Amino acid sequence: MGPSQEQSPDRLMQQAELSIPNAAIEDIEYHADRKLDKAQITRLATCGFIAEQHNIIILGASGAGKTYLSCAFGMAACRNFYTVKYIRLPDLLNELAVARGEGIFKKVMKVYKKVGLLILDEWLLVPLTSSEARDLLEIVEARHQKGSTIFSSQFTPAGGTPRSVRIRWLMLYSTELFMIPTLSLSTVRNPCVNVKASLSNQSHAGGCFQKFLPAPF
């Protein structure tokens, strides 16, 4: 899933279907109250995390700018000749359900398994059915240490069934966690390790990247 110059950045951007197609790292506004770390964002925009098959989790309240930041990273990936696919999780689950009914499930799944950077927005805003959890686990497991995924959510990854625990472990393996300060959180839970991320002092919260390397099962 490395970069390929067989397609132009413009073509890759069209295929990515970013919800904010003009999102760009250079247009991010670093106001003092946002407490975003420009150096860290710029580092991720080099797409080294994709080359290393690492993930990013972006946490923030509604309207905090999660989608813009996700799409800006997606744009940077296209400029670096990586294939990218953006999709809201509810739309992905619906697409997979329709594909199963039309007999093209494996074909559709292959797209999400093979893309260099997969951006999953609105991650787990509602509980999953057993079938949805199975499909999602198949994608996340296939991408483990083979591709990179950006998970954008309002919630910390915690709790759930054995499938959701496995999904969460795969999400957090070799992952950078970015918390936008507008979200009030006290603890980020890892199925293998509990990591406390106190946001009571906002000076330590903005643009906080935490590397997760949980031990294998």
Domain with 58 in it: what CATH number?
3.40.50.300
Residues ≥6 apart with Cβ < 8 Å to 82: 1, 2, 3, 12, 47, 50, 116, 117
Average pLDDT, the chain: 78
Whether 3 is covered by a domain: the verdict is no
How far from the centroid of its chain's Cα atoms is residue 90's Cα? Answer: 14
pTM of the model: 0.78
- State the sign of the Cα–Cα–Cα–Cα dihedral 190, 194, 200, 206: negative
Whether 172 is covered by a domain: the verdict is yes
Q: How many domains does the chain have?
A: 1
- Tell me the one-letter amino acid at 156: T
Whether 106 is covered by a domain: the verdict is yes
Whether 4 is covered by a domain: the verdict is no
The better pLDDT of the pair 54, 59 is held by: 54
Whether 2 is covered by a domain: the verdict is no
Question: What are the pLDDT digits (tens) for 112-134?
Answer: 999 999 999 998 877 888 889 88
Question: What are the pLDDT digits (tens) for 2-40?
Answer: 676 778 999 999 999 999 999 999 999 888 777 788 888
The overall longest dimension of the chain from CA atoms, in Å, is 52
